[in-house]
Chain A
């Protein structure tokens, strides 16, 4: 599904990814863990096509070169990024944004757009599953949302967009235990043989709820270790090792 080879990325002349390799198969959930500054957020930004990075190496998605595509083309190809810090868009209704997004992607794929009524019914079902306040639909996108509401909103978008590859960038950060469980359940519900996930996280606790098929340790711009779910536990015990200074423990 996703094949990354020797991926290098720098911003303002500062190299962050230094030859990263990663393969994710269809239906697999991979976790990438690492200390602050290892390049976790850069990895998600580069995969989603954010401007401002100098990128080299190879990234193919379902056999297609990904690096030549714009962010919106990647979205149409089925890539979804759950943002670490979801952006507020004042004055733009959350419901309107969500439907514009779903229909923009459907239109680009040559599929029929969904009318407002049908869409609203579908959204309400997904919101109930995520234990989200329906009032959030009529508020502006993320504006004044709590940290937990923002993250749930990301998962709601993911549920409506049904991507082929979901990249979850520190989706667990800043969540209390109830929100964490709701978000994790939301992710689990979307597990599908046709859908791959890349879960990027600093802390192993999300992985207690979302069981990964593989765990990778990202450090200084490279994958330095890979293993099964047990690797997450090991990291929880021992931290990321001597190079890590602060913040390696559980919160």
Chain B
């Protein structure tokens, strides 16, 4: 095996530090009292507590899904904290200037500035540590445009009708094991509401940071785009290096009304565990959008480099006629990482179209699975799908797997599927090296080239970050 590949396998995780501020945690364990504790801690209305309890009562009847191609050590759901938050040092911060300096420093170390004037471009950030949102920038500027961008807790307090109308409308509290768990114990997350006709004046983003030990993170994000509105939303995530696995079970719901557009981009860089597979985040996430109105469009773009285990299928329900769903994905696994990821496109409306482009890169002893479902219902007259899944293998001990499922109930629907698996070519490497480009640089160049079509879908700022992240992965980031 060549050196560049060795280094890729032995890469270091750059965000593995732990910040030492005081944290308030709920006692370990999962039961109705804990749920009441979380709800009380957030001053929630009675209906939401009931919603949580009902989800919990359903959850305890469920079992973990066994269909993914994943080996998961048994998870003891009683042996973790379901609530952790940086302890306030005084009264709640009035403005961004009052944020706990230790928390601010942590975000500075992550390269996320919470000072509005320091943002390079217009990107609003909701910063979430463990179970709570600690800051949301640019809220007042967004409010001028009528855009609501705040933490989920704040939305429950200030916009209860909107939350109640849409919460669970795309991913119901009984949807699946992890979604039910999330519904019972979800702590914070982001809420975005774009009124009719408004093009959101800046990119919205949420940065998720797990800091506390033995704690799960269960955030919930809800984005509602009213008629003819549009928004681009970015999501980034990191966590400290720890020998124990930590659970992250999030739910994201998107709703797009007629002619609305939602572009949702993720760079997921949770701690992946060490080279022996110790530690790392279990990333079990349910993400789904509903193209409710005609001609609406939802695009998911994800770059998944982190997590010990990823179980994630950002999906689109194409309900409105002529609506469009897209899924662009790069998933990188190395060491003993496992990813089982893909999408579900459910075509209901007439002339709905969906595009799936998935790029899997496996190295080390990792396993990388694409799993996708394209479903054309009887009503989906003239619906079309195009799917392309490409896998790149680096080194001899990794695996790539593709499970495409197709269900078509309408004869006029068209479904295309292409798939390829290749190894990073000795020919390509030699060609580059003959041109004076060393192995490390050549490997990085070839992998980035393989991902190009997906990176092109990312907003500029994220595309640069994604390429840098791939480069860091490939260079081994020594020191």
Contact = CB atoms under 8 A, between A and B. Distances in A.
Most chain B CB atoms below 10 A, which of A50, A52, A161: A50
Interface string A145-157: 0000000000001
B135 to A, nearest CB: 37
B427 interface: yes
B386 to A, nearest CB: 18
Interface in B425-460: 425-428, 430-439, 441, 445-446, 448-453
Contact of A90 (B427, B433, B437, B450): B450
Contact of A89 (B426, B436, B445): B445
A52 B425 CA distance: 14
Contact of B437 (A52, A72, A81): A72
A53 B479 CA distance: 35
Nearest to A92: B449
Given A86-B431, A87-B428, A75 B436 contact: yes
Contacts of A88: 428
B438 A72 contact: yes
A105 B439 CA distance: 14
Most chain B CB atoms below 10 A, which of A83, A88, A89, A101: A89
B436 A87 contact: no
B431 A157 contact: no
A99 to B, nearest CB: 11
A122 B454 CA distance: 31
Nearest to B435: A101
A102 B427 CA distance: 20
Interface in A115-172: 140, 157, 161
A80 B445 CA distance: 20
A87 B431 contact: yes
Contacts of B435: 75, 97, 101, 104-105, 157, 161
A92 B441 contact: no
A235 to B, nearest CB: 29
B327 to A, nearest CB: 19
Interface of A: 48-52, 70-72, 74-76, 80-81, 83, 86-92, 97, 100-102, 104-105, 108, 140, 157, 161
Interface of B: 425-428, 430-439, 441, 445-446, 448-453
5 contacts: A72-B436, A81-B434, A83-B434, A88-B428, A100-B437
The 3 closest A-B pairs by CB, nearest first: A91-B449, A91-B452, A92-B449
